[in-house]
């Protein structure tokens, strides 16, 4: 007799669970070794709390009323719950706070896409340490976690969350056009971006070409030079920040697997400044992400700069398996 479970959820059986447990233990050990204490928060929160994360995160897929009529929601990531936790439980603590987690999060799925409603994230939050030191520390922890998972070919993309909003405002673009252009940048629809920019009155061909070219600049520190040649306040600020982060990483010998990416744009509302994405050549999807969220703690009454990342545990596991079999094939 087969009893179904909702699409996008799954059972984990012993062989897989053993491997997942080994992986998650290795990750949490890396976090703990670096002074990040593990915390847990409830899977359900007041909707109003999660909504403070901004537009995208407030779109919790699962909301319901409790017996007293309060609107509750399932968390869609751990960053907002931990911001709440830090502001409430560590109100008087001396910053910085170093916290880590291994927890399920919940998102909506589109039918027949093999998406998961429930998935596990392993990550850290560093609260109270500004850029670039805070960003650099988070990237170092991320690199140690990738090493512990055996993903020695993984790459970390480093971008800037505010670059395009500022750049486009600088060009006098606002309102609906601005949001539409940011949407095209987030999905990397470069054809649509070029066409829509070209239709903006008063924008020259060169400015259009510059915006499109900027979205494709990715690589080592040389891309900062290329970008700086473009000029303007937004580009100047973003490249200066990225350079400060990158130089500090270089100084600590941690820049090798970091790719500077001016085309990076994450679709979570709370990011400010540095943003991160994690890739492994064995996988077509990103395996983690993160960045700075200097404004989020302030929404909970604790005005502290912060940064963090989350690795998607199931995906890291797939990448780990692929990398293992690749290494086995490479041995003659």
Partner 1 sequence: MSAAGVSSSRARTDGPLRVAVPRGALFGETLDVLDAVGVDTSAPRGDSRSLIFETDGMTLVTMRPSDVPTYVEAGAADVGITGKDVLLEQADRVVYELLDLGFGRCRMVLAGRRGDTRLGESQRRLGMMRIATKYPRIAESHFEQTGRQVEVIEVKGSVELAPLTGLGDGIVDLVATGRTLDENDLEVREEILECTARFVANRVAHKLRAAEIDALTAKLREATAP
Q: Which residues bind partner 1 (CB under 8 A)?
A: 8, 105, 107, 109-110, 113-117, 119, 155, 157, 187-192, 216, 218-219, 259, 261, 266-268, 277, 279-286, 289, 312, 314-315, 318-319, 322, 326
Quick one: 6 or 202, whose CB is closer to partner 1? 6
282 φ, ψ to 5°?
-80, -5
Closer residue to partner 1 in complex, CB, 43/190: 190
What separation in angstroms does the CA of 44 have from each of 68, 128, 219, 264, 316?
15, 26, 40, 31, 25
Whole-number Å distance between alpha carbons of 68 and 313 = 35
CB of 251 or CB of 285, closer to partner 1: 285
Residues 204, 77: Cα–Cα separation, whole Å:
41
Query: Distance (Å, rounded) from C-alpha 137 to C-alpha 149?
Result: 19
- Residue 8 falls in which region: left (phi positive, over 0), alpha (psi -120 to 50) or beta: left
Min. distance of Cβ 92 from partner 1 in angstroms?
33
CA 78 to chain centroid, in Å, comes to 11
Sheet holding 44-46, edge to edge: 44-46, 71-74, 63-65
Rounded Cα gap, residues 75 and 326, in angstroms: 36
Comparison of 113 and 176: residue with beta carbon closer to partner 1: 113
- Residue closer to partner 1 by CB (options 137, 323) is 323
| Distance in Å, CB of 16 to partner 1, minimum | 13
CA distances from 216 to 203, 260, 276 (A): 20, 11, 16
Minimum CB distance to partner 1, residue 246 (Å): 16
- Minimum distance of partner 1 from residue 71's CB (angstroms): 23
Which lies closer to partner 1 via its Cβ, residue 128 or residue 290? 290
For residue 252, the minimal CB distance to partner 1 (Å) is 23
In angstroms, give the least distance from the CB of 48 to partner 1.
23
Nearest approach, Cβ of residue 112 and partner 1 (Å)? 11
In whole angstroms, give the CA distance from residue 116 to residue 56. 18
53 token code pair: 């994360």
DSSP category for residue 159: E
Query: Coil, strand or helix: which one is 250?
Result: helix
> Residue 16 or 33: which CB sits closer to partner 1?
16
């Amino acid at each position: 007799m087969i009893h179904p479970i909702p699409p996008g959820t799954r059972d984990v059986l012993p062989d897989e669970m053993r491997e997942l447990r080994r992986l998650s233990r290795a990750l949490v050990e890396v976090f703990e070794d670096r002074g990040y204490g593990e915390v847990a928060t409830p899977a359900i929160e007041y909707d109003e709390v999660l909504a403070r994360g901004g537009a995208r995160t407030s779109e919790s897929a699962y909301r319901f009323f409790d017996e007293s009529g309060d609107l509750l929601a399932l968390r869609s990531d751990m960053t907002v719950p931990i911001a709440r936790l830090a502001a409430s439980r560590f109100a008087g603590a001396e910053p910085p706070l170093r916290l880590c987690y291994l927890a399920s999060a919940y998102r909506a799925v589109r039918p027949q896409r093999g998406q998961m409603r429930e998935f596990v994230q392993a990550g850290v939050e560093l609260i109270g340490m500004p850029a670039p030191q805070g960003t650099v520390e988070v990237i170092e922890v991320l690199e140690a976690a990738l090493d512990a998972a055996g993903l020695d070919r993984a790459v970390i993309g480093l971008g800037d969350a505010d670059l395009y909003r500022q750049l486009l405002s600088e060009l006098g673009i606002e309102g609906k056009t601005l949001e539409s252009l940011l949407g095209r940048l987030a999905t990397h629809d470069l054809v649509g971006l070029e066409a829509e920019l070209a239709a903006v009155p008063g924008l020259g061909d060169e400015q259009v070409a510059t915006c499109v070219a900027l979205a494709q600049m990715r690589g080592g520190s040389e891309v900062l030079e290329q970008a700086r040649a473009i000029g303007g306040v937004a580009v100047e600020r973003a490249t200066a920040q990225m350079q400060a982060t990158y130089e500090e990483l270089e100084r600590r010998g941690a820049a090798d697997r970091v790719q500077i990416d001016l085309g990076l744009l994450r679709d979570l509302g709370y990011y400010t400044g540095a943003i991160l994405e994690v890739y492994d050549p064995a996988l077509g999807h990103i395996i983690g992400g993160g960045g700075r969220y200097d404004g989020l703690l302030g929404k909970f009454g604790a005005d502290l700069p912060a940064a963090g990342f989350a690795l998607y545990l199931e995906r890291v596991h797939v990448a780990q398996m692929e990398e293992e079999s690749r290494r086995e094939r490479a041995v003659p």
